[in-house]
Amino acid sequence: MPPDFISNLYVFILAGFVGFEVIKRVSPLLHTPLMSLTNALDAIVVVAAIIIAGRHETRLTTILGAIAVAASFSNMVGGFLITDRMLRMFKSRGSKQS
Amino acid sequence: MTELALQQYLDFVYIVAVVLFILSLKLLSSPVSARWGILAGEIGAALAVIATLFNPELVQYKWIIISLVIGAGVGVPLGMVHMTAVPQRTALSHAFGAMSAAIIGISEYYVGTRQVTRFEMGEISLEVIIGSLTFTGSLIAAGKLQEVLPQRPIVYRGQNIVSLSILAGALGLAVALVVNPTNTILFPIMVLVALIFGVMLVTPIGGADMPTVISLLNSYAGFSAALLGFVLNSKVLVVAGALDGSSGFILSVIMCKAMNRSFTNVMFGAFGQVQASAAGVKEERVVRSATPEEAASILAAANKVVVVPGYGMAVAQAQHKVRELYDLLTKKGVDVRFAIHPVAGRMPGHMNVLLAEADIPYDRLVEMDEINGDFPQTDVALIIGANDVTNPAARTDQSSPIFGMPILDVDKAHTVMVIKRSMNPGFAGIDNPLYYLDQTLMLFGDAKQFVGSIVKELGGH
Q: What is the pLDDT of residue A98?
A: 38
Looking at the fold, whether B308 and B255 belong to one and the same domain comes out as no
CA B78 to chain A, closest CA, distance in angstroms equals 5
Assess whether B388 carries a catalytic annotation: yes
Element of type H or E holding B384: strand B380-384
The rounded mean pLDDT for chain B is: 90
Q: Are B329 and B336 in contact (CB under 8 A)?
A: yes
How confident is residue A97, by pLDDT bands cut at 50, 70 and 90?
very low
Looking at the fold, whether B313 and B365 belong to one and the same domain comes out as yes
How confident is residue B131, by pLDDT bands cut at 50, 70 and 90?
very high
Looking at the fold, whether B267 and B299 belong to one and the same domain comes out as no
Looking at the fold, whether B250 and B313 belong to one and the same domain comes out as no
By C-alpha distance, the chain A residue nearest B226 is: A12
**B146 CA to centre of own chain:** 13
B110 to A61: CB separation less than 8 angstroms, yes or no: yes
Looking at the fold, whether B249 and B325 belong to one and the same domain comes out as no
Looking at the fold, whether B444 and B361 belong to one and the same domain comes out as yes
A44 shares contact with chain B (CB less than 8 Å): yes
Print the domain residue range for B215: 86-273
Pairing of strands B380-384, B440-444: unpaired
What is the ipTM, given to two decimal places?
0.94
How confident is residue B156, by pLDDT bands cut at 50, 70 and 90?
confident
Q: Residues near B69 by Cβ (< 8 Å), separated by ≥ 6?
A: none
* Closest alpha carbon to B407 in B220, B257, B283: B257
Q: What is the pLDDT of residue B269?
A: 60
Looking up residue B322, the CATH number of its domain turns out to be 3.40.50.1220
User: Structure pTM?
Assistant: 0.91
Looking at the fold, whether B445 and B327 belong to one and the same domain comes out as yes
Write out residues 13-32 of A within 8 Å (CB-CB) of B: 15-16, 18-20, 22-32
Cα angle at B386 between B305 and B437, to 5 degrees? 70
A54 to B58: CB separation less than 8 angstroms, yes or no: yes
Give B323: exposed, middle or buried? Use CB within 10 Å, 0-12, 13-18, 19+.
Answer: middle
Is residue B75 situated within a structural domain? no
pLDDT digits (tens, 9 = 90+) for B55-110: 988 999 999 999 999 999 999 999 999 998 999 999 999 999 999 999 999 998 88
Q: What is the pLDDT of residue B425?
A: 63
Domain ranges of chain A: 28-90
pLDDT digits (tens, 9 = 90+) for B345-399: 899 999 999 999 999 999 999 999 999 999 999 999 999 989 889 999 999 888 8
By C-alpha distance, the chain A residue nearest B28 is: A26
How confident is residue B281, by pLDDT bands cut at 50, 70 and 90?
very low
Provide the domain count of chain B. 3
Of the candidates B209, B244, B388, B446, the residue annotated as catalytic is: B388
Is residue B415 situated within a structural domain? yes
- Indicate which of B22, B69, B96 best probes the interface with A, i.e. most A CBs within 10 Å of its own CB: B96
Last residue of a domain, one of B38, B66, B94: B66
Q: Residue B259 above 60 pLDDT?
A: yes
Looking at the fold, whether B234 and B305 belong to one and the same domain comes out as no
